[in-house]
Chains A and B, each alone.
Chain A
C-alpha cells in the first residue's frame, strides 16, 4: 500500500463523497456503536470494530457512523454492538466477534433484518439520553 499524505486524504475524501451511492444516502444517520470499555477490549472489541469497518468498506457503504462507547453494562456478553437504523428498533447485540460483526453489516444494515441469535438488549432510557 502506497503512503498517503494528508493532502491526499483531503482529495480522496472529496472524491469519495461525490461518489456516494443512492444506497448510502438511504442508510444515512445509521449508527453502529461498539462497546470499547476495558471489558469490551479484553473480549476482542477492537477486532470487531475493525471487521465492521472493513465490511462496510468492502460493500461500499460509507455513510454509516461507526462510534465507540464505554461499557454498556453487559460485560458478560462482550463484545457488544448497538445498531441504530432508521425504521428499525435500536438493539444491542452481544458476543459480537469479527464474524458476527460482518453479519451485522450484511444482515442488519444492508438487509434490514435483525440477527435474532445475538440480540441481548434494547437500550435503557438513560443510554438513549
Chain B
C-alpha cells in the first residue's frame, strides 16, 4: 500500500555525457554496461538494484538522459510500505548520501503529516564551501537533523 502522505523523493542529476536512446533503454539491464568505467566488467548493477528495490516497495523511478546534457534519475517511495526497510536515522543516511564523492546534484524531499522539507546538495555545498571536512559535515548534519526534527510529528 502506498500513500502520498509519507513519501521520500530523491533526484540525482549530473551534467555528464548523458546517454543516447539505445543506452538509456538498457540502463536498468544488469548485464549491460558501456564498459567505460571498468574496462573488463560486463555488468552494471547499480540502477537495476535501485529499480528492484523501488518496485519492491511500490515506488516510482524515472530516468531522463540526453547525450551532452547529462542524466537525471528520479525515484520516490513510501516509508510506511510493508516491505520498506526501517527508516532508522534518516538525517545520517541523507548526510552519507550527500557526502558521496562526485560532481552532481542530489535533491532529497520528505513529505508526510501535512508537512514537507527538502535538502539540496548544491545548496549545502554553496553554503558550506564543501562537504569534506569534519566541520562541514557536522554543520550539514545539524542542518538536516534540524529540518527532520521539526518535520517529524
B100 touches A13 (CB 8 A): no
A68 touches B149 (CB 8 A): no
Asked if B55 is an interface residue, CB under 8 A from chain A, the answer is no
A4 touches B142 (CB 8 A): yes
Contact of A46 among B93, B140, B141 (CB under 8 A): B93
Which residue of chain A lies nearest to B123 when distances are taken between CB atoms in the complex? A6
A1 touches B134 (CB 8 A): no
**Given A9-B139, A66-B137, A69-B101, 18 further pairs, Cβ under 8 A:** A3-B150, A9-B124, A12-B139, A36-B100, A46-B93, A49-B99, A50-B96, A53-B134, A53-B137, A53-B138, A56-B138, A63-B133, A64-B133, A65-B132, A65-B133, A66-B132, A66-B133, A68-B96
A-B contact count (CB 8 A): 85
Residues in A with CB closer than 8 Å to B92 are 46, 50
Asked if B47 is an interface residue, CB under 8 A from chain A, the answer is no
Residues in B with CB closer than 8 Å to A68 are 96, 99-101
A66 to B89, CA, bound (A): 19
A4 to B137, CA, bound (A): 14
Residues in A with CB closer than 8 Å to B132 are 65-67
- A4-B143, A50-B96, A68-B99 given; A61·B127 CB < 8 A: no
Asked if B135 is an interface residue, CB under 8 A from chain A, the answer is yes
